[in-house]
A and B are shown apart, each in its own frame.
Chain A
Amino acid sequence: MGYLRISRVGKTFESGSRRTEVLRDVDLTIDRGEFVSIIGHSGCGKSTLLNLIAGLTEATKGGIVLEGREVNAPGPDRAVVFQNHSLLPWLTVYGNVRLAVDKVFRGRKSRAERHEWTLHNLDLVQMRHAADKRPGEISGGMRQRVGIARALAMEPKVLLLDEPFGALDALTRAHLQDAVMEIHARLRNTMIMITHDVDEAVLLADRIVMMTNGPAATIGEVLTVPLPRPRDRIVAAGDPACLRARQAVLRFLHERHRLVAAAE
């Protein structure tokens, strides 16, 4: 059956007379609780695919079904951590998370419970200490963490992460990867994460979805990472299965689907 089914999805953008076919025939089935990484060259359509799952854009062809129901509009059951955090700068860290909590749990949780739940989710990403700061007053890594807390606080069926750590330094990135792994282990929610980083994909994912280059990109290969959880980055770095997976992804990206420089 599959928890989340993406069937024969195609997406063509039309602006005036110009048509750009970005995705063609994307087929993927994801299980509940699975962690899937999507990797591919810049501009191939990864964000477009994620936005389709989120319901932020509409598919031109094919369809997406989550838990037996067709996805045709965005909703809090598919929370997104955006590529550039997208916190609202006029709200505090607490206010950003609380907005989501209020919206999703109004009627189901009391005021005090919503307050507690907001703080709890800030705790998950260790950001409670900055609850009263505004996004402009905290670092990029902290903002990304708040973005994750906001998404987690919605208790989504699927958490969609669009290159959440793209703009961060290696240390902060490693720290947040650990945080995401820990949250995934604890909450067992389904996660789909776009990344540019091969090591990140291998470390975090159960399966790595590799996309061919656009236009009309599609899924070129899907690789299962046979690494037991909980995973440790130091152990994983020397693990033969991990090395093989890394090699396979690199081969896909740099030999078989090298980005043609002339296309840019």
Chain B
Amino acid sequence: MQSTLARPIPQAAEQATPARPASVTRLRVRPPARLSPGRRGAGLAARLLPPVVVGLLALAAWELATSGPGATLPPPSAVWRDSAELILHPFYVYGTQDVGLGWRVLTSLERVAYGFGLAAMAGVLIGAVIGQSVWMMRGLDPFFQVLRTVPPLAWLPISLAAFMDNRPAAIFVIFITAIWPILINTAAGVRNIPADYRNVARVLRLGQVEFFFRIMVPAAAPYIFSGLRIGIGLSWLAIVAAEMLTGGVGIGFFIWDAWNSSRLTDIIVALVYIGLVGLMLDRLVGLAGRLVTRGTGGA
């Protein structure tokens, strides 16, 4: 509503001053987004065409490579023949265990939300504390650097042994995978808060909690968000490992289950789902970061 109302106003203003070489100024001022529909369509095509072509070529190559007699993997045509249902109806429900991939993704996202949410909270808090102290940083950083490289699957047995229960163990695997980049980045962000901001806080006598929310979090926000972005990616990476334990209807367990019953085409569809959702999560956190740190980028 607002944008359509606001748009005519500058044009009216331009018409009100006919003496000016309006056409010249207008061309310069006008942002490229306001191209004519035809040209915008052409621009869109130019962006979409290359990936579509590459995709089609890849499918063709895949089809050729896997349609021979000795092929171990199914060709795309077989994927379509055997798993069209999964592609076309993401939200079907045939029974408690037999649901569309959309539902499975949502279930997995819920787990990721718990694991990643906890990792975000703990990572920012612990990172803030550690970043405040040079000695803690020096003492702990080497360990974080080691722990951060441990792959999600490797945490699985430890997690199971510690929790003795599938659900918390799965969430812990996600948590422990995602927390390190968040923690390390927050600590780095806090350490890099300019001394001037600290001095402002000291003159104002801000308390610990006030300092945390009013100075530390906003000042370190760009660092924190790049940590969160890496963290959400890792959480999603950890989902398959985590769901091997939990069973149920998650997308990770679906892959495990499909493997056990040799439904290779289903696995391929699930992989595409996981990739697309992962991309979406990454963009989402990136967008949130840009919204939060808007206007403070240079500082």
Quick check: B199 and A84 within 8 Å, CB to CB? Answer: no
With the chains together, A163 CA to B106 CA distance in Å? 58
Nearest Cβ distance between residue B292 and chain A, in whole angstroms? 9
Quick check: B214 and A76 within 8 Å, CB to CB? Answer: no
Q: State which residues 72-115 of A face B: CB under 8 Å.
A: 73-76, 78-80, 82, 84, 86, 88-90, 99-100, 103-104
- Verify if B44 is at the interface (C-beta below 8 Å from A): no
The secondary structure that dominates the B interface is helix
With the chains together, A73 CA to B203 CA distance in Å? 9
Contacts of A100 in B (CB 8 A): 204
Q: State which residues 91-128 of B face A: CB under 8 Å.
A: none
- Verify if A136 is at the interface (C-beta below 8 Å from B): yes
Contacts of A99 in B (CB 8 A): 204, 214
Looking at A73, A74, A82, A154, which has the most chain B CB atoms within 10 Å of its CB? A74
- Verify if B59 is at the interface (C-beta below 8 Å from A): no
Nearest Cβ distance between residue A37 and chain B, in whole angstroms? 21
- Verify if B298 is at the interface (C-beta below 8 Å from A): yes
Quick check: B205 and A103 within 8 Å, CB to CB? Answer: yes
Contacts of A73 in B (CB 8 A): 202
Minimal Cβ-Cβ distance residue in A for B217 = A90
Given A89-B295, A90-B296, A99-B204, residue A82 in contact with residue B218 (CB < 8 A): no
Nearest Cβ distance between residue A71 and chain B, in whole angstroms? 12
Contacts of A78 in B (CB 8 A): 203
Minimal Cβ-Cβ distance residue in A for B293 = A90
Minimal Cβ-Cβ distance residue in A for B206 = A103
Minimal Cβ-Cβ distance residue in B for A82 = B196
Residue from the list B205, B210, B218 in contact with A88, Cβ < 8 A: B218
Given A88-B215, A90-B218, residue A82 in contact with residue B206 (CB < 8 A): no
Quick check: A136 and B199 within 8 Å, CB to CB? Answer: no
Quick check: A80 and B199 within 8 Å, CB to CB? Answer: yes
Quick check: A76 and B204 within 8 Å, CB to CB? Answer: yes
- Verify if B299 is at the interface (C-beta below 8 Å from A): yes
Minimal Cβ-Cβ distance residue in A for B200 = A86
Contacts of A82 in B (CB 8 A): 196, 199-200
Quick check: A54 and B203 within 8 Å, CB to CB? Answer: yes
Quick check: A74 and B199 within 8 Å, CB to CB? Answer: yes
With the chains together, A86 CA to B221 CA distance in Å? 18
- Verify if B163 is at the interface (C-beta below 8 Å from A): no
- Verify if B259 is at the interface (C-beta below 8 Å from A): no
Nearest Cβ distance between residue A77 and chain B, in whole angstroms? 10
Given A74-B205, A75-B205, residue A88 in contact with residue B295 (CB < 8 A): no
Contacts of B298 in A (CB 8 A): 89, 136
With the chains together, A78 CA to B296 CA distance in Å? 28
Quick check: B295 and A103 within 8 Å, CB to CB? Answer: no
The secondary structure that dominates the A interface is loop
Quick check: B205 and A136 within 8 Å, CB to CB? Answer: no
Quick check: B299 and A136 within 8 Å, CB to CB? Answer: yes
- Verify if A134 is at the interface (C-beta below 8 Å from B): yes
Interface string of B185-206 (1 = CB under 8 A from A): 0000000001011011011111
Quick check: B200 and A56 within 8 Å, CB to CB? Answer: no
Quick check: B197 and A86 within 8 Å, CB to CB? Answer: yes
Q: State which residues 204-225 of B face A: CB under 8 Å.
A: 204-206, 210, 214-215, 218-219, 221
Given A89-B296, A136-B298, residue A56 in contact with residue B202 (CB < 8 A): yes
Contacts of A88 in B (CB 8 A): 197, 200, 215, 218-219
Nearest Cβ distance between residue B166 and chain A, in whole angstroms? 42
Minimal Cβ-Cβ distance residue in B for A151 = B203
With the chains together, A134 CA to B297 CA distance in Å? 12
Q: State which residues 251-299 of B face A: CB under 8 Å.
A: 293, 295-296, 298-299
With the chains together, A70 CA to B299 CA distance in Å? 35
Given A56-B203, A75-B203, A78-B203, residue A86 in contact with residue B296 (CB < 8 A): no
Quick check: B295 and A134 within 8 Å, CB to CB? Answer: yes
Contacts of B205 in A (CB 8 A): 74-76, 103
Residue from the list A54, A75, A104, A136 in contact with B295, Cβ < 8 A: A136
Given A99-B214, A103-B206, residue A86 in contact with residue B199 (CB < 8 A): yes
Contacts of B293 in A (CB 8 A): 90
Minimal Cβ-Cβ distance residue in A for B203 = A74
Given A75-B205, A103-B204, A103-B206, residue A90 in contact with residue B221 (CB < 8 A): yes
Minimal Cβ-Cβ distance residue in A for B194 = A86
With the chains together, A134 CA to B215 CA distance in Å? 16
Contacts of B197 in A (CB 8 A): 86, 88
Residue from the list B196, B206, B214, B295 in contact with A86, Cβ < 8 A: B196
Give residues in A with beta carbon < 8 Å to B: 54, 56, 73-76, 78-80, 82, 84, 86, 88-90, 99-100, 103-104, 134-137, 154
What are 10 A-B contacts with C-beta separation under 8 Å?
A79-B203, A80-B203, A86-B199, A88-B197, A88-B200, A89-B298, A90-B296, A103-B205, A103-B206, A136-B298
Closest 6 CB pairs of A and B: A89-B299, A86-B196, A90-B218, A74-B202, A89-B296, A90-B296
